[in-house]
Amino acid sequence: MPCMTDTLYEGLIIRSVGGLYTVECEGESVDCRARGKFRLSELKPMVGDRVLIVRPGIGEAVIREVCVRTNSLIRPAVANIRTLVVIASEAPPVTQPFLIDRVSAIAGHKDIDMILCVNKCDQKRGESLIDVYTKAGFRVIPMSAETGEGIDELRSVMTEGIFVLTGNSGVGKSSILNRIDPTRKAVVGALSERIGRGRQTTRHVELYKLPSGAYVADTPGFQSFDVERMDLVLKDDLAHAFREFADFIPNCRYADCHHVKEQGCAVRQAVEAGEIPESRYESYLMLYESMKDIHEWDLKKMGNRG
Ligand SMILES: Nc1nc2c(ncn2[C@@H]2O[C@H](COP(=O)(O)OP(=O)(O)OP(=O)(O)O)[C@@H](O)[C@H]2O)c(=O)[nH]1
Ligand SMILES: [Mg+2]
Ligand SMILES: [Zn+2]
C-alpha cells in the first residue's frame, strides 16, 4: 500500500448520506468513504467537519482524518457550528416553546450562539414568541419566507462560518434557505402532503455555500420530543444553559439552589416579577425533571450491573 506517499487534501464535509460523504475540496465535490476505524470510534465524520482526504487516481476517495471540532450537535448532526438558527412559527405547524427551550439549553451548554427567526409572519405575527425570546436575551428576527420580510437581516448575519437552520417540521426552513439564496432550490413540502405522509420533506443534513462564503445547513425538522441523552446537559449545569438566569442565580439564598422549590430562590422571584418569561422557567422545570429521571435510571442500571 502506497500509504506513506499519499497526498492529503483538506476539505469540508457538506453532505453525509448512508456512509457516503460529499467533501468540498479545492472547489470540487468529492465523494468519499470513511476509513474503517471511524465507524466504531467516537469521531465518526459528520457534516461540518474539516477532514483530510486521500484521492487516488483510480477508486474511491477516503477520509483519513477528522480535524479538531469546535463543537458538534447530535441532532441535527453538524460540527463546527457558528450560529444555530432556530426557526419557529405561531402559524401552523405552531412551534411549542418547549422545543425552542430544549434546543436553546443544548446550545447554551455547548456555547453555541443561537438566534430565533419567527417565520410565517404574513399569517401570524408571532408577538408572543418575539416577546418571550427578546426578553430572554436572544436576537429575534420576525420573518416571512412568503413576503421576504426579515430575509435580508438573516442574510446579513451569515457572513462566514456554518449556520444551521433547525426547527419543527413544516416551519419553513427550506423555504427560508431558498429565499436567502434564490439560486438554490431546496425542496419545500406542502403542509397537507406532509401530514398525510407523516414525515419530513428534507431528509438529510446538507451544507450550502452562500455567495458570502458562509455555509448554511438545511436540516430535517424534528417532530418528537425524544429524550436524546447524548445532547442533554447535566442537570446541575442546566440553569447555566438558560442564560437569562445568570443575573439572578448569585442572589439565591442557597449556593446549591436548583431553582425548583427552594426558599429564597432569586430565579423564581424573577419569574414572579416578570423579569424571566414564565414559559422559559416552565421549560427549565420540565427539562430538570426529565434529567432527574435519566440520572436515577442510570444509577439503577449501574446498580444492577454491580
Ligand atoms: N404563509 C407562509 N407559508 C410558508 C412560509 N414559509 C414556509 N411556508 C410554507 O410552509 C410549508 C412548509 O415549508 P418547508 O420550507 O418545506 O418547511 P421545512 O421546515 O423545510 O419542513 P421539513 O423539511 O419537513 O422540516 C410550505 O408549504 C411552504 O410554502 C411563510 O413565511 N409564510
Ligand atoms: Mg425542509
Ligand atoms: Zn435559585
Assigned C-alpha cell, 93: 405547524
Confidence at residue 221, expressed as pLDDT on a 0 to 100 scale: 79
- What percentage of the chain has pLDDT greater than the value 70? 82
Query: Is 178 near ligand 1, meaning CB less than 6 Å away?
Result: no
Residue 212 alpha carbon to ligand 3 centre in Å: 44
Of 32-41, 59-68, 150-159, minimum mean pLDDT range: 32-41
258-269 confidence digits (pLDDT tens): 999 999 999 999
C-alpha gyration radius of the chain = 21
| Ligand 1 atom with minimal separation from the 190 CA | 27
Nearest-atom number in ligand 1 for the CA of 187 is 16
Among protein residues, the one with the nearest Cα to ligand 1's atom 13 is 172
Residue with more model confidence, 75 or 248: 248
Indicate which ligand has the atom closest to the C-alpha of 246. Answer: 3
Specify the pLDDT at position 189: 72
Amino acid at 219: T
Ligand 1 centroid–CA 122 distance in Å is: 12
Which uninterrupted H or E stretch holds 140? strand 139-142
More confident residue, 10 or 224: 10
Question: Hey, whose CA ends up nearest to atom 27 of ligand 1?
Answer: 190
Q: Torsion angle of alpha carbons 183, 163, 91, 277, nearest 10°?
A: -160
6-17 pLDDT, tens per residue?
A: 789 999 999 999
Per-residue confidence (pLDDT) for residue 306, from 0 to 100: 26
Distance, CA of 42 to CA of 262 (rounded, Å): 39
Single-letter amino acid code for the residue at 301: K
Query: To 5 degrees, how large is the angle CA 45–CA 185–CA 29?
Result: 40
What are 102-159's pLDDT values in tens digits? 899 989 988 999 999 999 999 999 999 999 999 999 999 999 999 999 999 999 999 9
Strand partners, 20: 17
Question: Collapsing DSSP states into helix, strand and coil, what is residue 129?
Answer: helix
* Cα 286 to ligand 3 centre (Å): 16
Ligand 1 atom nearest the C-alpha of 87 is 19
> Mean per-residue pLDDT for 204-223?
88
User: Does 146 sit in the ligand 1 pocket, CB within 6 Å?
Assistant: yes
Nearest-angstrom CA–CA distance, 132 and 113: 18
In order of start, what are the domains of the chain with their CATH numbers? Answer: 3-66 (2.40.50.140), 72-218 (3.40.50.300), 233-305 (1.10.40.50)
Mind spelling out the 3-state secondary structure of 116-128? EEEECCCCCCCHH
Mean pLDDT of 266-277: 97
**Which atom from ligand 1 is nearest to the alpha carbon of 165?**
19
Ligand 3: centre distance to CA 281 (Å): 11
- 286 is written with which cell numbers? 420540565
